[in-house]
Structure formats: C-alpha cells, structure tokens
Structure 1
Amino acid sequence: MRQVLAWVLVAWTAAYAPVWADDHPVVVELYTSQGCSSCPPADEFLATLADRDDVIALALHVDYWDYIGWKDSFAQPAFTARQKAYAISAGRRSVYTPQMIVDGMEHVVGNHPKDVGAMINKHGTQASPVELKIERKGDRLEIEAEAAYPLGEPVLVQVVRYMPSARVMINKGENAGRTVDYSNIVTEWHVLGEWDTRTTLEAEGTIEGNEPIVVILQKKGPGEVLAAARLR
C-alpha cells in the first residue's frame, strides 16, 4: 500500500540527483536569539556543525527576548512555540537560550560543544528504522519513505527551508555594538501531514527559491527524529 501526500509550497528549475538518508544525518536544532548575550558562542559553534555532512544544523530564532531592547530579525513565534512544545514533552517548565536539541531527544546547553558533540556521536551511530529519499525534478520536490516495520504511531512529515548565512549588526539590547554571523537560519518550517508507517510514503510538491531544503520525519510531541535528508 501507498500513502500519498501532495502539497504546493512554491518552484525552481534545475534538476538534482536524489539524496538518500540511510546514513542518518543527525538533526541539531539551536534555539537562539540576537538579544541573548549568551548566544553568540553557540551561534559560532553551530557554524562549525553547518559544514558537516553528517549533521543537519538548524538555527531557530525565538522572539521572547525581543522585549529587552532588540527585536530579532529572524525570530518567529512558531519557533518559540516549537521550543515550548519540546519543553512540555520533556516535562520541563521553562525554556532558555541557547539550547540545542539533538535528533528531537537530547536537550543540551547550546554553548557546551563537548556535550553536544557527545550527543551527535551517540545518535550518529544509531540505526534508523526508516529509509528516506528526497529528489528535485524540475520544479518538483519528491519525498519517498518506507519503514522497516510499523512504528505504532503516526510520523510527522516536515519540510524546512533555511538561509545559509547572514551577518547582523546589533544596535540595542544585551548584544548592542556587536556584529554577529549566523548560519543555517530557518525561514520556514512546514508540517505536510502525518504518515502511517504501515504504508509506503510518497509526497510531492513545488518549491521556489534557492534556499536549501530539509525533510524531517519525526515522532509527534515533538519527539524522536527518525530520518532526515537535505538538498543544498
């Protein structure tokens, strides 16, 4: 059996070879803010992760520090809501920056590279029960996935876009007077639907723009990331 999802995100022109995610790149989400004085070291560390093929590093800028004098130009309320959902799922009462979440499971202080590195190594060696393939064909993005066995719960199919880099001069707030380089800044995070892993997943849609694209298959919660793939 097949489960088919179709969507329209928007289009470009070049054709690309398919990308398979059977090597299980590790997804690292950094929750950060331009208004947080503790965040620049974590932002710098994320830049080193962004260069790795075995890691999909994503910076999600939150808006709850905007009140202290500087409005983060990349922040979205949806990213704050996602971080809060992680906290609720983990039984925590509060959120903070900088925070890194590794494969949806490990919550680590974002400016502790040694701890984050250990979690990346741990998850990078774990086999995934899901095989994922994504491919661009002209103005189409095609997603295929298959589970080795039924997982007993629906899996979220998510498409993420990000800006590879940007430099920001910060004039107010805790980082006033600093110029900070940011990497892999998430601009869009779409949940396409839920996948019943008893079936083979096929999804397709159109995309516009040249920003890299990431597909993430994740348990609800948000919970464990089962598979991810990227087209740069």
Structure 2
Amino acid sequence: MIKRLSVAAIATMTFASAGSAVAGGPVVVELFTSQGCSSCPPADALLGELADREDVIALSLHVDYWDYLGWEDQFGSKANADRQRGYAHASNSTMIYTPQMVIAGTDELVGTKAMKLAQLIDRHKAKPDNVTLTVTRTDAGKLRIAAKRLGDVPGKMLVQIVRYVPEQLVEIRSGENAGMDVTYHNIVESLEPIGDWTGDADLNIQTEVSGDNPVVVLIQDGSSGPILAAARAD
C-alpha cells in the first residue's frame, strides 16, 4: 500500500537537521494550472497547502491554452501562459505543460510531486539573500517598497507587483473536469512590472495600489530569471 504524504508533512521531515543553514526570505512557488486540465486538481490542492505558510509565497497562474477542450477558465490569461513560455525559453526547453511549478524562478517540476517540491523549497530557503525587501501599505492607499543589495546581483533587476485573490471555489460544469468543485488559492489577477533597479543604491519607492486583495512584490532577473527577493503586503 502506498501512503501519500502532503507537502506540509514532508516539509517537516526534509532537511530537518539543516539547522546551520542560513535562512533566506520566502520562496516563491508559481503553479501554472488550468480548470480545463484533468491532471491539475491535485496540484491545485498542493498549492493550497502552501498558501498559508510564512516561508513560501504560493501563486496560482492560470493559463488559457486548454480552454479549447470545452471549459473556459475564467482566471486564465495569455499573460500567464507567456510568463510560462518565458521560463521554458530561459531553461532551453521547447515544452510547456500543466500542472507545472516553478520554484524561485529557476527550478521546475510537475506540480504533483510533493517530495521534490519540499526539497526544492528547503534548498532555496537555505540560500543566503543577496537582496532584502520590505513592502508595506500606507493609509493613503500607496505601497511602499524598500530594498537593499547584500551580495552579487544582476546589473538590472525587474520590480514587479502581483495582485491575487486568496481563495475561490469554482463549480466546473464541462470539459475534462466536469462535475468537480475545485477550491483555488492565491489566484493571480495581475503581474505588472513597475520599473528596473540596478542595486547600486537602496530602493525606496511608493506606488498606487487599489483594492483590498493582497499584494506581492517580486524582484527578479528579468521576467523569467531567478527571483532574488519577494515580500507580501496583505
């Protein structure tokens, strides 16, 4: 009999002895998924287990390229599919698929592989930060972003703002998942670049932010390279 462990349970076992490792900031886990993909619900559930962890920023990016199978994913977007294609190009791959997870902008895996996911999260957590990042909301409806370079960084880094819906239940009535009710977590509504940063001086900027949904800021080597820092503001 095969016993399947959740990523939360696995995370408590994996690298449990690595107490001497230097802890980094939260690890970004991006799940490329679709309501029209029959293999995706287990990965969506796995991402849901990560959604409340402080050491992980879990994001669900719904793609649009499975809509032709008979169910249009209301969260799907070409922008998310293009981001996935960018990661594929950066890794010299010609294939994109769902469910796919990308960890910290560098490592990818099938989104149902809980053991490998836990190992990759712990590996990235153990890496020292080369950038520190803090994000706070002001009473005036602005987002204050502050970052400092600590080590080696690319010559130009992209600062991006992610808006997401924390949770939504969807009743899927046609397509490959017809008859299923699926709860999705941290559904990305938008991912917008707001500027570049070289790291030569500390970053201190404010930008407008509307609505009450949570916000994540990513500092990344381009739009499909390693994620150097991430922080959220609820």
TM-score (norm 2): 0.88
> CA separation of 1:152/1:98 partners in 2, compared to 1, >3 Å: closer, same or farther?
closer
Query: What one-letter code is carried by the residue in structure 1 that aligns with 2:130?
Result: P
Gaps of 5+ in 2: 1-22
What is the aligned partner in structure 1 of residue 157 from structure 2?
Answer: 155
For 1:133 and 1:45, how far apart are their aligned partners in 2?
Answer: 27
For 2:177 and 2:87, how far apart are their aligned partners in 1?
Answer: 27
Give the number of aligned pairs.
Answer: 211
Does the aligned pair in 1 maintain the 2:132–2:149 contact within 8 Å? yes
Query: What one-letter code is carried by the residue in structure 1 that aligns with 2:61?
Result: L
Query: What one-letter code is carried by the residue in structure 1 that aligns with 2:195?
Result: G
Gaps of 5+ in 1: 1-21
For 1:74 and 1:31, how far apart are their aligned partners in 2?
Answer: 11
Query: What one-letter code is carried by the residue in structure 2 that aligns with 1:158?
Result: Q
Deviations 1:1-21 (A, max 9, x none): xxxxxxxxxxxxxxxxxxxxx
1:218 to 194, 217, 220: 220
Q: Give the ranges of 4+ consecutive aligned residues of structure 1 lying more than 3 Å apart after TM superposition.
A: none
Deviations 1:42-77 (A, max 9, x none): 000000000111000000000000001000010111
For 1:111 and 1:45, how far apart are their aligned partners in 2?
Answer: 7
1:206 Cα shift? Answer: 1.5
What is the aligned partner in structure 1 of residue 198 from structure 2?
Answer: 196
Matched, 1:110 2:111: yes
Does the aligned pair in 2 maintain the 1:149–1:198 contact within 8 Å? no
1:196 Cα shift? Answer: 1.1
> CA separation of 1:39/1:99 partners in 2, compared to 1, >3 Å: closer, same or farther?
same
What is the aligned partner in structure 2 of residue 134 from structure 1?
Answer: 135
For 1:203 and 1:114, how far apart are their aligned partners in 2?
Answer: 39
What is the aligned partner in structure 2 of residue 5 from structure 1?
Answer: none
For 2:197 and 2:152, how far apart are their aligned partners in 1?
Answer: 11
For 2:151 and 2:112, how far apart are their aligned partners in 1?
Answer: 37
For 1:107 and 1:180, how far apart are their aligned partners in 2?
Answer: 24
Does the aligned pair in 1 maintain the 2:32–2:98 contact within 8 Å? yes
What is the aligned partner in structure 1 of residue 99 from structure 2?
Answer: 98
Query: What one-letter code is carried by the residue in structure 2 that aligns with 1:172?
Result: S
2:186 to 184, 187, 190: 184
- Which SS does the other structure have where 2:41 is aligned? helix
Q: How does 1:8-23 map to 2 (within 5 A)?
A: 23=24
Does the aligned pair in 1 maintain the 2:24–2:126 contact within 8 Å? no
Deviations 1:115-156 (A, max 9, x none): 111100100111111111111111111101111246242001
Matched, 1:78 2:79: yes
1:165 Cα shift? Answer: 0.4
Does the aligned pair in 1 maintain the 2:99–2:111 contact within 8 Å? yes
**Which structure is richer in relative contact order (CA contacts within 8 A, separation 6 or more)?**
1
For 2:152 and 2:112, how far apart are their aligned partners in 1?
Answer: 37
What is the aligned partner in structure 2 of residue 37 from structure 1?
Answer: 38
